[in-house]
Amino acid sequence: MAAGKPWSIGVAAYSGEPSGVLVDNAAGFVEELAGLAPAGSRIVLGGYWGLMRVVADEAAARGFLVIYILPSSPPARPPRGSRHVVIETPLDPVARSVVLVRSSDAVVVLGGMIGSMMEALMAYDYSRPVVVVESGMDTDKLLRLGEYLDSRRKTRVVWARDGREAARLVAGILGDGME
């Protein structure tokens, strides 16, 4: 991991059973990010199921602190331990997403459906940089909205072909302090 102020990277990811492509993108994202992020950097997730579980396990194994912002009735409980911080909330999944996004310096969308799309839109509204991985899932529809999601041009939405490219893009954004 690189030197500098630690980053908090929010990850929006599919809550269902992930395909092999999604798993490969998630693993590649975390592996690449581990070599680029400052020591002490954190991965912020909305739970420990589906693709989020893959991200969590890969991140903890590579030395990231993994923070879970759980909705009121999570379908699975994350592990506890020195690499895992579990924050249980009374919030529904949408309200939980606000906490996830506001707790992040940037949001990476690894693929998903409406929940991941909402997190991308929230990140934009809160002026958090957004990196979206082309995944073959519904989140690819965000591409149609363009680099700026509305005329306010609050932050750029950038696209990555895979998880490794997403890690390099977010490192460039946060490492240089650019949007």
pLDDT for 178 beyond 80: no
Q: Which residues pair with 97 in a beta bridge?
A: none
Average pLDDT, the chain: 94
Q: Is 12 inside a domain boundary?
A: yes
CATH number at residue 81: 3.40.50.450
- DSSP per residue, 65-114: EEEEEE-SS-SSPPP-BTTEEEEE-S--HHHHHHHHHHT-SEEEEEE-SH
Q: What is the pLDDT of residues 114-171, one digit of tens each?
A: 999 999 999 999 999 999 999 999 999 999 998 998 999 999 999 999 999 999 999 9
Between 79 and 28, where is the model more confident?
28
Q: What is the pTM of this model?
A: 0.94
Strand 157-160 relative to strand 130-133, pairing: parallel
Q: Is 2 inside a domain boundary?
A: no
Domain of 34 in residue numbering reads as 8-174
Look at residue 179 in the predicted model and tell me its pLDDT.
Answer: 40
Task: Give the mean pLDDT of 101-119.
Answer: 97
Q: Is 51 inside a domain boundary?
A: yes
Stretch (H or E) spanning 122: helix 114-125
